Amino acid sequence: MKMTSDMAVDWKNYEPVLIPNIPDLHKIDVYEKHGGYQAFKKVLTDKKSWPEPKSVVNEVKEANIRGRGGAGFNAGLKWSFMPPADGKPRYLACNGDESEPGTFKDRKIFEYNPHVFIEGALIAAYAMQITTIYVYIRGEYGDYIKMMEKAIDDAYKKGYIGKNIFDSDYSVDFYVHSGAGAYICGEETSMLESLEGKRGYPRVKPPFPAQKGLWGRPTTINNIETLSHVVSVINKGADWFKNVGAKNHPGPILYGISGHVNRPGVYELPSGVPILDLINEVAGGIRNGKKLKAVIPGGSSVPVLRADQLDGVTMDSDSLREVGSMLGTAGMVVMDEDTDMVDMLWRITHFYHHESCGQCTPCRDGTGWLEKIMLRIKNGEGEIKDLDLLLDITTQMEGRTICALADAAAWPVRHTITRFRDEFEARCKKSIHAA
């Protein structure tokens, strides 16, 4: 089923809420002037609208903010998994590791509007009666780590973080933790290991972080963008949020568009924008007047789509699933007609080989094998049988490991080969067994 244009969302009249066009919004005074920290204040002090923390959880659950880190799980539902508070430490771990190639949306929040994230995290922490918040930012974001530290210091000084906030009995602490440049630490449980000062190995689930997370205590992990959306859910209500964009995947999304377009960048628009509108209108079309060849819609691990698959496809989970891809992080990589898909896939396999943590056998040895075969094909030394071997290896890796990195490494290989098989076969040398 293809969507007709009249079903598409009205994205042209959308007013951004996460990264609005306000100069110096990263400064706390400017943020306050534009209504900053009012949502948090309401939640803490307005007992009529928000009688108890649970009511915040319910509102966020109702808004159906689907996790923007890639998995798309209802954030409020995730919060409701936390066991009742028992007076001992509980944690919120904010995932700003943002390492998926093609994804660069959270850095815009760190850079242009850090306080909307801080406020969202504080509301989330209050809703779950959390005592400590960590924001884990990838080490490569050195400047943004400093900016976040400054923003958190400012919020401490203004009394938004610390003891007895707004004279309530709620207290919370907020820390920035720098990663050391490992992709795997963006996986939520290995991020917890990393926060504990250990090697970034994903944990075996169950137990899930809500039962046993950081230092064995209940922990919730949310993406930076997900938490930032909480502020507008509180300010404007769950109904407003639900009515922005696609029905099953509502709310604004930060689209990170990169690749062969005229105006790459991060754009805040409703979910469900047609992919072709994003490329041709938002991002100004393919550069140098070239033709579109392929799009990776949500970060390097999601299946690539051919240009001829894109008619009527919109950026939301349902529509993308129909054509055999996923929304992921909405970090879109656009490729023009000159793109060599073999080189592209080799580069992706190189990345996953480099970033596999090495804990589980199928991923540790599978990613390396994938890259080595891809290198052989790229160098014109591959054979047709190698393509089938690649597909075999992806089947052997998928769903057989502790975390989803093996899947993330296997999908691009499987789908790029099946969707661009001619190109791969053309690069292979004729097998001596071929007729």
Q: Which residues bind other proteins (CB under 8 A)?
A: 182, 184, 199, 201, 204, 353-362, 364-369, 372-373, 376, 389, 396, 399-402
Q: Which is nearer to other proteins, 31 or 424 (CB)?
A: 424
Q: Which is nearer to other proteins, 146 or 354 (CB)?
A: 354
Query: How far is the C-alpha of 62 from the C-alpha of 34, rounded, in Å?
Result: 26
- Distance in Å, CB of 363 to other proteins, minimum: 8
- Distance in Å, CB of 192 to other proteins, minimum: 15
Q: Using omega within 30 degrees of 0 as the cis cutoff, is the peptide bond preceding 207 cis?
A: yes
Q: Which is nearer to other proteins, 87 or 206 (CB)?
A: 206
Q: Which is nearer to other proteins, 114 or 209 (CB)?
A: 209
Q: What is the DSSP letter of 278?
A: I
- Distance in Å, CB of 181 to other proteins, minimum: 11
- Distance in Å, CB of 393 to other proteins, minimum: 9
Strand order in the sheet with 305-306: 265-270, 252-259, 331-336, 292-296, 305-306
- Distance in Å, CB of 353 to other proteins, minimum: 6
Sign of the dihedral through C-alpha 325, 390, 256, 155: positive
Q: Which is nearer to other proteins, 45 or 211 (CB)?
A: 211
- Distance in Å, CB of 330 to other proteins, minimum: 26
Query: How far is the C-alpha of 207 from the C-alpha of 365, rounded, in Å?
Result: 27
Q: Are 199 and 184 in contact (CB under 8 A)?
A: no
Residues 6+ apart with CB under 8 A from 43: 50, 56, 123, 126, 127, 234
Q: Which is nearer to other proteins, 55 or 396 (CB)?
A: 396
- Distance in Å, CB of 198 to other proteins, minimum: 10
- Distance in Å, CB of 412 to other proteins, minimum: 17
Query: How far is the C-alpha of 262 from the C-alpha of 10, rounded, in Å?
Result: 23
Mode of pairing for the β-strands spanning 292-296 and 331-336: antiparallel
**Residue 285: other Cβ atoms inside 10 A:** 17
Q: Which is nearer to other proteins, 128 or 360 (CB)?
A: 360
Q: Which is nearer to other proteins, 164 or 361 (CB)?
A: 361
Query: How far is the C-alpha of 351 from the C-alpha of 188, rounded, in Å?
Result: 19
Q: Which is nearer to other proteins, 359 or 416 (CB)?
A: 359
Residues 6+ apart with CB under 8 A from 34: 20, 22, 25
Query: How far is the C-alpha of 158 from the C-alpha of 162, rounded, in Å?
Result: 10
- Distance in Å, CB of 203 to other proteins, minimum: 9
Question: Alpha helices of 196-340 — where are they, by DSSP H?
Answer: 224-236, 238-242, 275-277, 317-322
- Distance in Å, CB of 336 to other proteins, minimum: 31
Core vs surface per residue 342-371: b (16+ CB within 10 A) or e: bebbbebbbbbbebbbebbebbbebbbbbb
Q: Which is nearer to other proteins, 71 or 389 (CB)?
A: 389
Q: Take residue 293 and report the two structure tokens written for it.
A: 């060849």
Torsion angle in degrees (nearest 10) through CA of 154, 158, 163, 166: -140
